[in-house]
Amino acid sequence: MRIHKGDQVIVRSGKDKGKKAEVIRAFPAEGRVILEGVNVAKRHAKPTRATQQGGVIDKFMPVQVSTVALLCKSCDKPTRVGMKIDKNGHKVRVCRKCGAEL
């Protein structure tokens, strides 16, 4: 999976299609990511010692990684991710459209 925590992505399908969001958490084994402000579920919580206030809490639920596309910072468009080995011998992610490092 080539989408990591902190990446800017755009949702390509589903009820939140077209929204831009940041990846909060990635689950590579399941092929899912949690995005900020996307796929929000309402959860009813009782007041506890940790949370003094009860009520309805918004919870971000995971979405399939195949429904999001990474946004390139240089060309500012959704792109696929390629891999390239830099001069130090490390693998880096690159934009397939413009070739810039991600």
Give the pLDDT score at 48. 87
Q: 56-82 burial, b if ≥16 CB within 10 A, otherwise e?
A: eeeebebbebebbbbbbeeeeebbebe
Question: How far apart (Å, rounded) are the C-alpha atoms in residues 54 and 47?
Answer: 4
pLDDT of 53 > 90? The answer is: no
Single-letter code of the amino acid located at 71: L
5-51 tens-digit pLDDT: 999 999 999 999 999 999 999 999 999 999 999 999 999 988 988 87
Give the pLDDT score at 64. 96
Residue 29 lies in a domain: yes
- 42: nearest Cα among 24, 60, 22: 60
Number of domains in the chain: 1
pTM: predicted TM-score of the whole model, two decimal places: 0.83
CATH code: domain of residue 58? 2.30.30.30
Residues sharing a CB contact under 8 Å with residue 31, sequence separation 6 or more, in sequence order: 1, 64, 65, 66
| DSSP state letter for 54 | -
* Residue 63 · residue 12 · CB < 8 Å: no
pLDDT of 101 > 80? The answer is: yes
Residue 35 lies in a domain: yes
Residue 53 lies in a domain: yes
